[in-house]
Structure formats: C-alpha cells, structure tokens
Chains A and B, each alone.
Chain A
Amino acid sequence: MSLASQLPALQVAVPMLTAPLVALLRDSHLSWAAAFAASAMSFVLAIAITGQVIGGETLVYHMGGWAPPFGISLYIDELSALLLLIITGAATLTLLAGRGSLEEQVGEARMPLFLAAWLLTLAGLAGIVVSGDAFNIFVFMEISSLATYILVSGGPQRRALTAVFKYLITGTVGATFYLIGVGMVYMMTGTLNIADMEVRLAEVSDRNVVYVAAGFITIGLALKAAIFPLHAWMPNAYTFAPHIVTAFIAACSTKVSLYVLLRLDFFVFQKNLVDHELQFAYLLMPLAVIGILYGSIAAIFEQNLKRILAFSSVAQIGYILLGASLISVAGFTAAVLHFFNHALAKTALFLAVACLGLQFAKMRLEDLRGVGRSMPWTLAAFAGAGLSLIGVPGTAGFVSKWALIGAAMEKGAPGAALVALILFSSLLAVVYVWRIVEVTWFGHGGEQAKAAGGGPITEAPLWILTMTWVAVLANFWFGFDSSLPMQLASSSAEEFLRHQP
C-alpha cells in the first residue's frame, strides 16, 4: 500500500501515538518540541487529505483490513477535510504561539502530561471527524472529552476545577445519550457503520424506537455542542481554562459535535424517517434563533473579557445551526462556511486574550481600561479579529453571514424575518466588540493599578504577537479570497442534501 492511501489512519495515529511518548519525556522543552512536531505533522496530513478529497472524492479506509460493516471504516469527504483543517490548524497555531503563555499558566513541571493531553485532544477530535462508524465516534469522543477536561483543568485559578467538573458531568451525560441512541439504532439494524445504517434503517423506519434513538442522539450531541439551552457548561469552561487552551477548543471542539450531529441526521435519519427534515428544522431553528439573541445579549452584559467571547460563541453556534436548519443547499453551505470562519475569528481573538494574559491575571474589563495605549499591537489585533466576528465586509466573517442571509432570502417571508434577525444580532455584536475596544483604548485608570508584576505594562512578546497577527490576517485573507472554504462548503452541502445511499 502506498503512503497516500494510509493518510486517513496516519491522521489519527500520529498524534495519538506521539502522546504516550510525550508523556514519558521528563523535559518540558523536549516534550514541547515533540508535541509541536506531531501537531504540525497532523496539519500537513490534513492538507494532503484535503488535496485528495477536493472535487468530490471520498476516502474510505478499512481499519485492520476488514471491510465494513464488519470492521471499522474511516470515511473522509469534503466536510471531514474542512473540519480536519480547522482542528489541526488551530492546534498547531495555538501551540506554536502559546509556549510562553502555557509555561506561565500551567507550569513547566506539569508540561509533559499537559502536552500529552493536548495531542490526545487533537487525536480524539480528528478521530471523530474521519470515522465512518457510529460506535467508533463514541470511542474517540471519550478520548477527546477526557483529554479536553485535563486541558481545561490546567487553568491557574482554583475555579478551573469546579468549571471542569461541571463540564465533565455535562459532557458525560451528552456522550451517554449519544451512546444510548446508537445502541437503539444497533438494536434495530444490527450495524454500527453509518453508511450501512443509512441503508438498513429504511426497513424499520416506521418504528417509534428509531425516533427515540434520533432524539437521544440529537440531544446528546447538542449538549456537547453547547447548543442553547444546553450551553451552561461552556462560559466557565472557556473562562477558567488556560488562554491557549481556550483558543484551541473554542475553534473546534463544539464544532466537531455539531459535525457528528449533521452527519448522522442528514445521512441516516433524514433519508429514512418521514418528515424528519421538518422535525429537525422545527426543533433546532427556534433554538438557533433564541441562542443567537441570548448569546449576543448576554455578551453585552458580561464584565469578563473571556466570558464575553464565550457567550458570543453561543450565538455563533446559533448561526451555524440556523444555516443547517434551513435544510437547503445554500443554508448548509453557509453553516459549513461559518464553521471555518468562526474558528478563524475566535482563534485570533483568544490568542489576543493570551497576549493580554501575560500581563493581567484576570480578564475583568475594568482592569483593562486604557491598556490599548501600552499594548497597541495586541489590541489592534483584537479589533481586527473583532471585525471578522461582527461580519464587516472584507473579513471572513462577512462571507459566511452574507451566505447565510442569501440562504434565508430563499425562504420567503419567514426568511425575511431571519434576515432581520441576522442583521440585528450583528448590531449586537458591534455593541459587545465596541465595548471592549472602547474600554481598552479610551478608558482610564485601569492599567497602572493592576499590572501583574507591579511594573509598567509592556507589549506582548514578539513571537506570540506575530502568531496572533497571522490568525488575524487569515481572517482578512479568507475574507478576500474565500474560494477554498467556499468550494469545500458548497460541495459538502451538495453531498449532504442530495446524497443517495
């Protein structure tokens, strides 16, 4: 077998098997180098896989050489490739940027174990995305969840532990619900392979148990994806995690659960269950709409920078869900575009937070008054990424919001109401981003009093600043030329909506 055909397995195996090695290394620098090498290697693999699937190819890999449905198969299409790019790209960039920040927040002594958990998170998320088997997805969900809990618990404040405990309980309930649903589908079809489920579910699609299974799977994944009103674990987990961890998981971890939800719902349930598209839309569209409004308004009233951004994520997940719940090619395209563009914006924003974190212990807005005058590059990066979060023309965020508006317009009068909602919530985003910009640039009296070491506040180190700006400029680059995400998004929308077993 050639190397090219082994890429799907390597995508998971490289980070997963480097993790034990990293954990065994006693030296913090050495383990960082190994973890970075594995992350960068994963990113290269993701790019190579994207090159293979772009244009409609699908990669199927038989684990252990056993054909599905008997063995486990990996299944990679364009949507999986897009998610792989987000996951591995975010992991690599934030790890590269965040060495200093992590050493300060997590400590050098615990670094090897922490970095092993980092790689396991990466391997778990990648393993979910490439898998074509519903139970295998659960196994990798366990790996990524457990490892993410470790990452979040590394936060410097004691409250990180209570935040992560809540996250752990919620995440476990979510994963268990998913497993109950998969178990019920297995009971009725005798298969765990997603493509095979799609075929075999047709015979038993009139049974109530299948609807119950769909419900359990949807609610379980909605918990893990922090879909309103099941988002309660998220703000604290994001706030008390180390800043670099927040930048990594905010980019990808909730999106991976959304991906599984879309994969199972569009491939398995909508094809087989009568009126399931409508049920999907009627359940999730109101949640998306309320989530967008609630997240944006809550963000306006928050006093902590990281919590503002966390509530903004609740709203952004709402946009993705809104696009998907339109059940149209245009809507699905917008949702997938927003996967990519929101990851770009949030990574850049949280990297800017990590820059601030080198000077400030807490992220209360009142402490950050006027900090823009001492750290102009950091705050300029924040403002730039903020523009993308709002969706100002010329940024990546605009591309997906424009696509979402276009998709809503197709739906007639209710669509017009959705367009109004999107515009209104963008105004709310202007309010919460502007509030941060105003306080940090034009506020007075905060910075001198709260300097971490007592000394004057200085600009963040060049290295992390450069990486933050790389992320910010990516927002402008993909606003200028969005052909790659656009192509992946539109053809995965075609595949998901027009796909026939």
Chain B
Amino acid sequence: MIELFGVFLLALAVITAIGVVQARNLFAGVMLMGIFSLLMAATFFLLDAADVALTEAAVGAGISTVLMLSALALSGAEEKARSRSRILALIVVTVTAATVIYATFEKPRLGDPNAPVQQHVAPWYFDMTQEAIEIPNVVTAVLSSFRGYDTLGEVIVVFTAGIGVLFLIGAAAPKGRASPSQGDLPVGLKHHQPIRVVGKLAIPFILLFAFYVQFHGEYSPGGGFQAGALFAAAIILYGMLEGEATALSIIPAPVLFAMSAGGALLFGGVGVVCMLLGGNFLQYDVLLAGSPVGAQQMGIIAIELGVGITVAGTLLSIFFAFATRDQS
C-alpha cells in the first residue's frame, strides 16, 4: 500500500516537474514548484524522514515560494521567448538521468537492514545518542552534535545567502511606500477584511508552533531550521496583511540582519567556548563540569537556538529586501 502511494506521489512529482519546465508564465512556474516541494515533503514523510519532510514543507513549499513571488513582483511574469534550440541541453539531461537510473540498479533495496548505510555508522549513532546525549531524536543528535560542524557550515551558508541578497538589491528602508497617504499603492491586504481577520488569527498559532518545533526538537521532529522558517512565515504573513512597513516597524531591518549574523555567532561562539574550556571545537561535553550528558544537551539547545535565529533573520531580511525595493 505504501509502495503504491509512493509511486503515485513520485509520478505526480514528475508531472509537476515537467510542468515547471514547460510553463511560460513564471507565476505558474513558481506555484508548480511549491506543489513539487509539497509532493517531495509527502514522499520524505512516507520514507519515515519526518525531519526532512518538515524542512521541505516549511522551506521548500512555504518560504521559498513566497520569496520567489516577491522576486516576481519586481520582474515580468512572462518568460522571454527562447531563440536558441535546446537540443544539446536535452541530450545532456537525458544522458545524466539515464546514468543515475543505471546506478540505482545496484543500490540496496529500500529498507534493507543489511545495506551498508544501516550497518556501519548508523548503529553507533543510535547507541551513542542514548548513551552520551540521552535524547530520543537521533536526527537531532547527528545534526547538532555528531556532525554539528556541518550544521554550522549550513548556517553560514544561510547567512551568506542573506549577505548576497542584501549586497545586490540593498536593504533600502521603505520610503513611505506602504504609508496610508499614498492610497493607490498596495498596502498589504488591508482592504480584504475576511483574509485579514482569519490570517491574523493564524499568526499566534504559527508562532507558537515555531517555538514548539524549536524547543521540542530533541524529542520530536524539528529543530532550528524548521522553527526559523515557521517564525519567518508568521512575520511574513503579518507583513502581507498589514503592509511591510508596519511589520518592519515591529522588527526593523537592521535588527533582522543582526539576528542573521548573531545566530551564526552564537553557534560559532559555543564552539569557541568549548575550545576555551579545553575541548575541541564544538565539543559540548566540556560545557558543564562533571556532567557531559547535560553539557551535550545544553550545547545542542544553544546551537539550535543559533540556527533558528539565523534562519528567521535571514529569511525575513531577504523577504523585506525584495518587498520594500522600489520597482524603478
């Protein structure tokens, strides 16, 4: 039954992907991309990868669709007609896909307990998570402690992306664009009462869920990346309902950027403190004298908070940089 459902989802994903390539209208393309992400999130969930599914749903289907739409607001909605033929590209893509499919013929069967990935490091992760960290969610343990250095790298990637957008399109202050005096300019969705009322009702629950995902990540799927994206989604929703200027008056752009940098610094700072206390970089054991398990948990909570702050700050910086940019 699960297999059937998986095949169904993947078939839909393929159709959607072809739709994205075929779409000449960029708005349609962006929407199809969102659907594609949602299908992938469902597929990951079927594969029991709940953490990945949550990330894909929050970031892929949610935030990145919004970011793409706000970028589209600055450009035309129709793709330019192509002059050159794309035969060569088609050949390259076909050959690549065929090679990948060929390689999967020898891949271990899905869920095979004797597969190399199940035999080598995975059992150690399961044992050590119980023994050294004592939290139920092994994914969180791998992500934030065993391979925490990779996660720091990914946080820096997010931060770098934020710098890139701000460097290119500038964090210009909203120059009264959304102020009520200029009545004919779009001011969020202020004049759509039903959307406003229902939307504003949802915001506290989204924020609450964000904090739940943030601080419950050791026990259930989730963590800083997903929580940051959810937090950003709540603020973006508020910005859409009330106008970007109102949202920015609550959290000004410099604060958002400081969050983006500060979260990364918090994560890195934990690593440096570990070094100062005599351990290796990011070796949380040394944070609390006499209690390595407690120290691991403390380190994980601190760095997950750093992740959440950077992700939320960066996503919001990028969104407001697009949303408040003059269309000149």
A interface residues, Cβ below 8 angstroms from B: 1, 6, 9, 13, 16-17, 19-21, 23-24, 61-66, 69-72, 110, 113-114, 116-117, 120, 123, 127, 135-136, 139-140, 142-143, 146-147, 149-150, 153-154, 161, 180, 184, 186-191, 200, 204, 207-209, 212-213, 215-216
Q: Which of A20, A64, A213 contacts B159 (CB 8 A)?
A: A20
B272 near A72 with CB under 8 A, answer: no
B268 near A191 with CB under 8 A, answer: no
For B117, the closest partner residue in chain A by CB is A190
Residues in B neighbouring A71, C-beta threshold 8 A? 146-147
With A63-B280, A114-B167, A208-B105 known, 10 other A-B pairs at CB within 8 A are A62-B280, A64-B147, A64-B283, A117-B164, A127-B153, A139-B150, A142-B153, A153-B164, A190-B121, A212-B100
* Interface mask (B86-109 → A, CB under 8 Å = 1, otherwise 0): 000000000000011011111110
Q: Which of B103, B105, B262, B265 contacts A213 (CB 8 A)?
A: B103
Residues in B neighbouring A161, C-beta threshold 8 A? 168
Segment 248-296 of B: residues with Cβ below 8 Å from A:
257-258, 260-262, 264-265, 268-269, 271-272, 275, 278-285
B161: interface (CB < 8 Å): yes
B120 near A69 with CB under 8 A, answer: yes
A65 near B285 with CB under 8 A, answer: yes
B100 near A113 with CB under 8 A, answer: no
Residues in A neighbouring B262, C-beta threshold 8 A? 20
B103 near A64 with CB under 8 A, answer: no
Task: Give, as a whole number of angstroms, the nearest-CB distance from B59 to chain A.
Answer: 15
Task: Give, as a whole number of angstroms, the nearest-CB distance from A129 to chain B.
Answer: 14
A135 near B156 with CB under 8 A, answer: no
Contact flag A17-B268 (CB < 8 Å), given A71-B147, A72-B147, A117-B163: yes
Q: How far is the CA of A216 from the CA of B268 in the complex (A)?
A: 33
B interface residues, Cβ below 8 angstroms from A: 99-100, 102-108, 115-122, 124-125, 128, 145-150, 153-154, 156-157, 159-161, 163-164, 166-168, 257-258, 260-262, 264-265, 268-269, 271-272, 275, 278-285
For B275, the closest partner residue in chain A by CB is A6
A142 near B157 with CB under 8 A, answer: yes
A sample of 11 cross-chain residue pairs with beta-carbon separation below 8 angstroms, ordered by A number, consists of A19-B156, A63-B280, A71-B147, A113-B166, A123-B156, A136-B153, A142-B153, A143-B153, A146-B161, A150-B167, A190-B122
B147 near A23 with CB under 8 A, answer: no
For B151, the closest partner residue in chain A by CB is A139
Q: How far is the CA of A474 from the CA of B258 in the complex (A)?
A: 41
B167 near A61 with CB under 8 A, answer: no
B279 near A65 with CB under 8 A, answer: yes
A187 near B117 with CB under 8 A, answer: yes
Q: How far is the CA of A210 from the CA of B306 in the complex (A)?
A: 38
A70 near B121 with CB under 8 A, answer: yes
Interface of A, helix, strand, loop or mixed by DSSP: helix
Which 4 residue pairs of A and B lie closest in terms of their CB atoms, listed nearest first?
A190-B120, A65-B283, A20-B261, A190-B116
B154 near A139 with CB under 8 A, answer: yes
Task: Give, as a whole number of angstroms, the nearest-CB distance from B149 to chain A.
Answer: 4
A184 near B119 with CB under 8 A, answer: no
Q: How far is the CA of A199 from the CA of B288 in the complex (A)?
A: 37
Q: Which of B261, B269, B279 contacts A24 (CB 8 A)?
A: B261
Residues in A neighbouring B120, C-beta threshold 8 A? 69, 189-191, 200
A20 near B264 with CB under 8 A, answer: yes
Q: How far is the CA of A279 from the CA of B13 in the complex (A)?
A: 37
Contact flag A135-B150 (CB < 8 Å), given A13-B272, A62-B280, A65-B285: yes
Q: How far is the CA of A188 from the CA of B167 in the complex (A)?
A: 42
B280 near A65 with CB under 8 A, answer: yes
Task: Give, as a whole number of angstroms, the nearest-CB distance from A159 to chain B.
Answer: 14
Task: Give, as a whole number of angstroms, the nearest-CB distance from A96 to chain B.
Answer: 22
B150 near A13 with CB under 8 A, answer: no
Q: How far is the CA of A136 from the CA of B269 in the complex (A)?
A: 20
Q: How far is the CA of A123 from the CA of B282 in the complex (A)?
A: 17
B265 near A21 with CB under 8 A, answer: yes
Task: Give, as a whole number of angstroms, the nearest-CB distance from B265 to chain A.
Answer: 5
Residues in A neighbouring B168, C-beta threshold 8 A? 150, 153, 161
Residues in A neighbouring B164, C-beta threshold 8 A? 117, 146, 149-150, 153
B167 near A154 with CB under 8 A, answer: yes
For A6, the closest partner residue in chain B by CB is B275
